A and B are shown apart, each in its own frame.
Chain A
Amino acid sequence: MQRSFFMRNPSVLIFIGLLALFTLLVTVFSEAFGVGVISTSLVKTLGKTLCLCLIAIAMDLVWGYCGILSLGHFAFFGLGGYMIGMWLMYERTKAIVVSSLAEAPLPPTADEIRDGIGTQIFGVVGGAEIPPIWFFADSLFAQLVLVVTIPGLLALIFGWLAFRSRVTGVYLSILTQAMTLALALYLFQNDSGLRGNNGLSGLQNLPGLDDVPQATISIWFLWASAFALGLGYLVAAWVVGGKFGSVVRGIRDDEARVRFLGYHVESYKLVVFTLTAIIAAIAGALYYPQAGIINPAEIAPIASIYLAVWVAIGGRGRLYGAVIGAAFVSLVSTWFTGGQAPDIPLGFYTIQWVDWWLVLLGLSFVLVTLLAPQGIGGLFDLFTNRKTPERGGADLGPDAGSLQEKEAEQ
């Protein structure tokens, strides 16, 4: 008898339940809708963390399930942010320009408004012309479509090029990293049309909603992020749950064998790569209005590597692992780098966590990779009796298939 989707994936219901509970609690304790225990900035941090969890799920899909260690997913995240940022910045600047020109003795012409917006936005990079890529910036709907299509298209083209030439493993990782670097370097230019290294700013202000306090907006975004995360989890669980998921995991474990079984491996990889890019872009589009500013440094290759770090620490190959990893590492990271962690005096030297946190993160990352490839998520196996039978030897990771060390050598 075919069991229902939720019966086969109990973690989905648990996860969505916990997420709903979390959102409810934050709302109840927030300044806007509740008792005000949780400050607006903390609400924003939590909302951003939810977005990071969403992109971690995307990363887990593409790496943990499909075996493609992409070091470029933050590029899609950033692109999504840029796309929504263009609308936010354009509309808000337009409102400012229109209100300032309303004082003028003659009503402004359309050209005057456009010139005003151009000067306001691009004056900082020494221009006044609105570049052609901002053509759709006055339409929320068009930019929302672009949030999905631009990163999706980039992933599609890049993935098609990479997969058809059978670039795999570490080569693919380096290639994705190069793509990210190229994009970041391109955006760093002043004449890229996206304000160079200034990036887009003032994104926390929603156009037309100047009267709504940030406390309320932050809760709205928390809800939206939580909803997107829940939906993303559901989609991801559905993708990896069915027959499609089995093929994808087969590709991770032994690509050649799946190909010999008659599956068109490249298409499967391409679908997963593009889908995760779109999820990442949506996460980015929700993240940057909460962060308020986006600049090319966010896209730098290092960010994507951190993403891999989160997923690895959380436990790849299981969706909740990715979420736990992203939430845990990014929140702990905020705590340490925010200067809240107490210093440790050693007598001859005081360890200040602002300086030493990255060292700790790097080393703990090495330790997790060496000693606990299952990550934090592996702890759940202890409770659920899903502990794999003792097969001897260490896990060889996705590349060597599901075999373990001693089996592989036989």
Chain B
Amino acid sequence: MTRTIFYGLGAALLWLMTATVSLAQSPIQDLLQTYEADLAKPSRKSIGTVIEGLIASGQPEIPELLTKWREKDVWQRKDDKLFFYGEKIDSKTYRLIDIATGEVVGELPKKELKQLKPNSGVRGVIATALVQFQLTDPDRATREAGLTAIERGPEASHLGALRASISPETDADLKARKVRLERLLTIPYDEDSATRVAAIESFSKDLGVDARAAINPLLTTTRKAAATLPENANIAAVLEPGDDLTRAEAYGLLVDAGLAPAQVPASAQKDALIANVENGQVAGVPVHQLDNDAARADAYAKLAAAGTVPPAVTETQIDEALAANVIFDVYAEPDNAVTDAAQEALKSIETRVFFNQMLDLGLDGLSLASIYFLAAIGLAITFGVMGVINMAHGEFIMMGAYTGYVVQQVIPDYTVSIIVAIPLAFAVTFAAGVAMERLVIRWLYNRPLETLLATFGISIALQQIAKNIFGTQARPLTSPGWLDGALVFNDVVSISYIRIAIFVLSLIFLCVLLFVLNKTRLGLETRAVTQNPRMAASMGINPDRVNMLTFGLGSGIAGIAGVAIGLYAKVTSELGADYIVQSFMTVVVGGVGNIWGTLLGATMIGFLQKGIEWLNPSNTLAAQTYMIIFIIIFIQFRPKGIIALKGRAAGD
């Protein structure tokens, strides 16, 4: 009794107080006092109406208030329940600021104040509400942030705010983004079917991942079973057991829908048999006879007949159940027009995506081709032009890459270090090549098979030495910052700058080599010595010197290729060995003795490998296998390569 009176008194007092203060306060404070209880103790349920009410009032202070509220900067004075912005002075004292005027009201100890602490759910609701203010905010950065927030987590409630914000938008970029986002949100959230269809159709030529992400969910289906097709459902397809799905799957759906008795799985049958073993017999059948499925099924049937276990579902029962029911895929989206439009749009998008993927694949192939070309071009000189099989060519590539690594250890600036590393790698491998030519290959010009073996000996020695010096772990060769990133054409087609750089580098090599071989004295002498060393010697050319320089040139180019390859692959002692077989293939396929042939060979192998990888995307190993098999067969038809030298130049 006393308690009731007490409550009644308290309520009256409260009403009196509110009434009194509200008379003296600003409109915003009045508004807040209307929702006092919900503000002080907000919940996910009630907060919606509170915020709607606040926004509907159209008070100018609302956005700031919501922001401060979310950041827990709104405080309530305990004695009169008024709300203020709070600023911390020290841990015990807070400065109160009036919400309407922004004037300092006074400083109060913390214990006389109560902080509004919205939980994360409430903060989310506040953030959503804030979006519409952000979208029309005079500050461009704020508008952009709001837009980005919607793009990350779109909600039905954003649609209205977004639409309202489009026409006042002044910035052309943002306006375009808003319009696009509005269409994206229209697809799932708009009420009107025709509007949605129009929005979907507007995306039918769009390659953006976001467009597909918006349309795809419309087409999600659930597989259901029923006695008859439901009338009002948006059905994607009716399925035929045996054709569209297996009988077992179909029956499983019937069981899940409660339309058929559950099957007793083989393992359960087996468990039942085991459970019913008596005196070495199951239902009169000796256990040792149960070593095949037929005998087990018989024994189980006997148990079922005795009523010990539930009977197994027979094949006829399954057939009957499947015949009596339909199985179908139904769209989650109930609107038929929308799903049709989505299907059309997606089909059109996929065609475009396919063409763009082809384009992207072409770029990939081109870049792989340039890598192969780079790895093989040195070989095109030593093997193609001079006819020397150099199995250590791969190790020269490796030496180039390690030179780049060592240079980066000394020169920390990546751009400078690359500029230094390229000529240095050329110098190092040029020297190595000349040394090898002088010491080994010179003695073996008449014995190509033994050149192969001797250079292989050098190759394993070099590889092991690299391993002893640099260890077995991969060393990084970091590319300069301006080579990071990729050139993006659209959401499907892009190519990284480093691959473009390698492509350009290989083009430069091609031009330089063509120039050296065709337009310079050294090139002329090289070709003369290659065709007929004795004749060349009698013309006053020193074949020894020319061979030495040509071999050095080929090796030096391998070194530069090593720097380039090291930039996008890790530098290990096996770096060169990974490329050697492909490099020889490139030269052989292209046609020996011709730089253009090497270019064609690399192009063919690069595109082919990418093509095979595209057909079988999970497996690059298989792609390489098929490619090598293809090359072996290709050589059957053009044993001398794509560009075969004819006549005397062929050297046979």
A-side residues, CB < 8 A to B, are 69, 105-111, 158, 161-162, 164-167, 169-171, 173-175, 177-179, 181-183, 185-186, 188-189, 191, 301-302, 305, 308-309, 312, 355-356, 358-359, 361-366, 369-370, 373, 394, 396-400, 405, 408
Minimum distance in angstroms from B622 CB to a CB of chain A: 6
Chain B positions 436-478 with a Cβ under 8 Å from a chain A Cβ = 440, 443-444, 446-450, 452-454, 456-465, 467-468
Across-interface contacts of A358 in B (CB, < 8 A): 460-461, 463-464
A396 close to B447 (CB less than 8 A): yes
Across-interface contacts of B296 in A (CB, < 8 A): 106, 109
| Sample of 12 further A-B pairs with CB below 8 A, known A106-B270, A397-B446 | A109-B296, A110-B292, A171-B588, A175-B635, A178-B581, A182-B628, A185-B624, A308-B456, A362-B457, A365-B453, A365-B456, A369-B454
Give the CA-CA distance A158 to B619 in the complex, in Å.
Answer: 25
B389 within 8 Å of A (CB atoms): yes
Q: A108-B291, A170-B389, A189-B622 are in contact. Are A370 and B454 (CB under 8 A)?
A: yes
Main secondary structure of the interface of B (DSSP, over half): helix
Chain B positions 577-633 with a Cβ under 8 Å from a chain A Cβ = 577, 581, 584-585, 588, 619, 621-622, 624-625, 628-629, 631-633
A362 close to B460 (CB less than 8 A): yes
Minimum distance in angstroms from A366 CB to a CB of chain B: 4
Give the CA-CA distance A105 to B273 in the complex, in Å.
Answer: 9
B622 close to A356 (CB less than 8 A): no
A356 close to B454 (CB less than 8 A): no
Across-interface contacts of B460 in A (CB, < 8 A): 358-359, 361-362, 365
Across-interface contacts of A169 in B (CB, < 8 A): 448-449
Minimum distance in angstroms from A155 CB to a CB of chain B: 13
**A363, closest chain B residue (CB):** B461
A165 close to B290 (CB less than 8 A): no
Across-interface contacts of B584 in A (CB, < 8 A): 174, 177
Across-interface contacts of A312 in B (CB, < 8 A): 453
* Other-chain residue from A178, A355, A397 in contact with B450 (beta carbon distance below 8 A): A397
Give the CA-CA distance A405 to B577 in the complex, in Å.
Answer: 33
Across-interface contacts of B443 in A (CB, < 8 A): 370, 394
Give the CA-CA distance A356 to B468 in the complex, in Å.
Answer: 8
24 contacts between A and B (CB under 8 A): A69-B453, A106-B270, A108-B291, A109-B292, A111-B293, A161-B632, A164-B636, A165-B637, A170-B389, A173-B449, A174-B584, A177-B584, A178-B628, A185-B624, A186-B625, A301-B581, A309-B457, A359-B460, A361-B461, A365-B460, A369-B454, A370-B444, A397-B446, A399-B448
**A403, closest chain B residue (CB):** B446
Give the CA-CA distance A105 to B280 in the complex, in Å.
Answer: 10
B639 within 8 Å of A (CB atoms): yes
B287 within 8 Å of A (CB atoms): yes
Proximity bits, B407-451, A CB within 8 Å = 1, else 0: 000000000000000000000000000000000100110111110
B504 within 8 Å of A (CB atoms): no
Give the CA-CA distance A110 to B443 in the complex, in Å.
Answer: 66
Minimum distance in angstroms from A333 CB to a CB of chain B: 12
Q: A105-B274, A189-B621 are in contact. Are A370 and B440 (CB under 8 A)?
A: yes
Main secondary structure of the interface of A (DSSP, over half): helix
Q: Which 8 A-B pairs have the closest CB atoms?
A: A362-B461, A365-B457, A182-B628, A358-B464, A107-B291, A397-B447, A362-B460, A366-B457
A188 close to B621 (CB less than 8 A): yes
Give the CA-CA distance A394 to B592 in the complex, in Å.
Answer: 28
Across-interface contacts of B447 in A (CB, < 8 A): 396-397, 399-400
**B294, closest chain A residue (CB):** A109
B288 within 8 Å of A (CB atoms): yes
Across-interface contacts of A186 in B (CB, < 8 A): 621-622, 625
A106 close to B458 (CB less than 8 A): no
Give the CA-CA distance A336 to B603 in the complex, in Å.
Answer: 44
Across-interface contacts of A182 in B (CB, < 8 A): 624-625, 628-629, 632
B264 within 8 Å of A (CB atoms): no
A355 close to B468 (CB less than 8 A): yes
B277 within 8 Å of A (CB atoms): yes
Minimum distance in angstroms from B265 CB to a CB of chain A: 14
A399 close to B632 (CB less than 8 A): no
**B584, closest chain A residue (CB):** A174
Minimum distance in angstroms from B591 CB to a CB of chain A: 12
Across-interface contacts of B621 in A (CB, < 8 A): 185-186, 188-189
Q: A178-B585, A186-B625, A358-B460 are in contact. Are A408 and B444 (CB under 8 A)?
A: no
Minimum distance in angstroms from B279 CB to a CB of chain A: 13
Minimum distance in angstroms from A72 CB to a CB of chain B: 11
**A394, closest chain B residue (CB):** B443
Across-interface contacts of B446 in A (CB, < 8 A): 396-397, 399-400, 405, 408
* Other-chain residue from B287, B292, B454, B631 in contact with A365 (beta carbon distance below 8 A): B454
Give the CA-CA distance A174 to B459 in the complex, in Å.
Answer: 16
Across-interface contacts of A364 in B (CB, < 8 A): 457
Q: A105-B287, A186-B625 are in contact. Are A170 and B449 (CB under 8 A)?
A: yes
* Other-chain residue from A111, A165, A173 in contact with B635 (beta carbon distance below 8 A): A165
Chain B positions 251-271 with a Cβ under 8 Å from a chain A Cβ = 270
Give the CA-CA distance A4 to B619 in the complex, in Å.
Answer: 58
A369 close to B450 (CB less than 8 A): yes
Q: A165-B636, A359-B464, A373-B450 are in contact. Are A106 and B581 (CB under 8 A)?
A: no
A106 close to B287 (CB less than 8 A): yes
Across-interface contacts of A188 in B (CB, < 8 A): 621
Give the CA-CA distance A302 to B464 in the complex, in Å.
Answer: 14
Give the CA-CA distance A370 to B441 in the complex, in Å.
Answer: 9
Give the CA-CA distance A164 to B637 in the complex, in Å.
Answer: 10
Q: A105-B277, A109-B292, A111-B293 are in contact. Are A369 and B588 (CB under 8 A)?
A: no
Q: A107-B288, A189-B621 are in contact. Are A179 and B448 (CB under 8 A)?
A: no
B291 close to A356 (CB less than 8 A): no
Minimum distance in angstroms from A196 CB to a CB of chain B: 9
A69 close to B290 (CB less than 8 A): no
**A113, closest chain B residue (CB):** B291
A399 close to B581 (CB less than 8 A): no
**A366, closest chain B residue (CB):** B457
Across-interface contacts of A167 in B (CB, < 8 A): 635, 639
Give the CA-CA distance A161 to B452 in the complex, in Å.
Answer: 23
Across-interface contacts of B274 in A (CB, < 8 A): 105-106
Give the CA-CA distance A373 to B444 in the complex, in Å.
Answer: 11
Most buried by A among B389, B457, B584, B636: B457
Give the CA-CA distance A396 to B443 in the complex, in Å.
Answer: 10
Chain B positions 468-520 with a Cβ under 8 Å from a chain A Cβ = 468
Give the CA-CA distance A109 to B294 in the complex, in Å.
Answer: 10
Give the CA-CA distance A214 to B194 in the complex, in Å.
Answer: 80
Give the CA-CA distance A169 to B635 in the complex, in Å.
Answer: 14
**B457, closest chain A residue (CB):** A365
Q: A107-B288, A186-B622 are in contact. Are A69 and B452 (CB under 8 A)?
A: yes
Across-interface contacts of B639 in A (CB, < 8 A): 165-167, 171
Across-interface contacts of B448 in A (CB, < 8 A): 169-170, 399
Across-interface contacts of A408 in B (CB, < 8 A): 446
A363 close to B457 (CB less than 8 A): yes
Give the CA-CA distance A399 to B453 in the complex, in Å.
Answer: 14
Minimum distance in angstroms from B122 CB to a CB of chain A: 47
Across-interface contacts of B287 in A (CB, < 8 A): 105-107
Give the CA-CA distance A399 to B293 in the complex, in Å.
Answer: 66
Chain B positions 158-180 with a Cβ under 8 Å from a chain A Cβ = none
A305 close to B456 (CB less than 8 A): yes
Give the CA-CA distance A173 to B450 in the complex, in Å.
Answer: 12
Across-interface contacts of B635 in A (CB, < 8 A): 165, 167, 171, 175
Minimum distance in angstroms from A251 CB to a CB of chain B: 14
Give the CA-CA distance A355 to B443 in the complex, in Å.
Answer: 29
Most buried by A among B277, B287, B290, B447: B447
Give the CA-CA distance A226 to B127 in the complex, in Å.
Answer: 83
B291 close to A309 (CB less than 8 A): no
Proximity bits, B274-288, A CB within 8 Å = 1, else 0: 100100000000011
Across-interface contacts of A308 in B (CB, < 8 A): 453, 456
B440 close to A366 (CB less than 8 A): yes
Give the CA-CA distance A370 to B447 in the complex, in Å.
Answer: 10
